[in-house]
Amino acid sequence: METPTPVPDDSRSKRSRRRSANRFRAAVRRIWQDWWAEILIGVLVALAIFLLVERMSIRQTLWGWLVAVWHGLQSFVSGLTRAVIGLAQNTTLSDLVAYALLLVAVALVLWRARRKLMTLPRFTVLKCPRCGSGLHRVHRRWYDRLLDLYVPVRRYQCEDPDCRWRGLRVKRSRHG
């Protein structure tokens, strides 16, 4: 009787590939963090040498691009101006009232959504949504700060070393 040959565990090989990809990304990130200035200097020197030895008419091409972009911007602005003037000339009093009502409605929806986000325990409790462990604060990203203009958010990470969830929690409102 023959013993069956073991079938390689596909999930184990996927995990191994994922781990090596994460190690590679971490190494690239570490190199970039340590050597970004030197890499940038090297690229600038290489570009300068290329521009010194090349025989193309880069100046004329670049000037042509800039002129084309300038003319495109001018035509866009003039078309936009004509459209706004045409819209303003054809606007009635009922249109203005409708715009004002729509603006008030949108403002009320945004206000209610902000208030709900700041008071719902789902977003304000400082426990990991995955495992229920405690959270500790970590540095925010630029888009977290942008969102913070609307709802006061902080970035947290799970304290459980097996979970390591990262995400945003809303700073609880005193009025809720």
Residue ranges in the chain modelled with pLDDT below 50: 176
pLDDT score for 69: 96
CB 132 within 8 A of CB 144: no
pLDDT score for 176: 47
H or E element at residue 98: helix 93-119
Residue 52 burial (10 A CB sphere; 0-12, 13-18, 19+): exposed
Per-residue pLDDT of 75-115, as tens digits, reads: 999 999 999 999 889 889 999 999 999 999 999 999 999 98
Residues 158 and 166: their CA atoms lie apart, in Å, by 6
Which position has the token pair 């229920």?
A: 132
Residue 160 burial (10 A CB sphere; 0-12, 13-18, 19+): middle
Closest CA to 114 of 144, 146, 153: 153
pLDDT score for 40: 95
Residues 140 and 17: their CA atoms lie apart, in Å, by 29
Backbone angles phi, psi at 5, to 5 degrees: -75, 135
Angle at 127 between CA 126 and CA 131, to 5 degrees: 165
H or E element at residue 158: strand 153-158
The residues facing 18 across adjacent strands are none
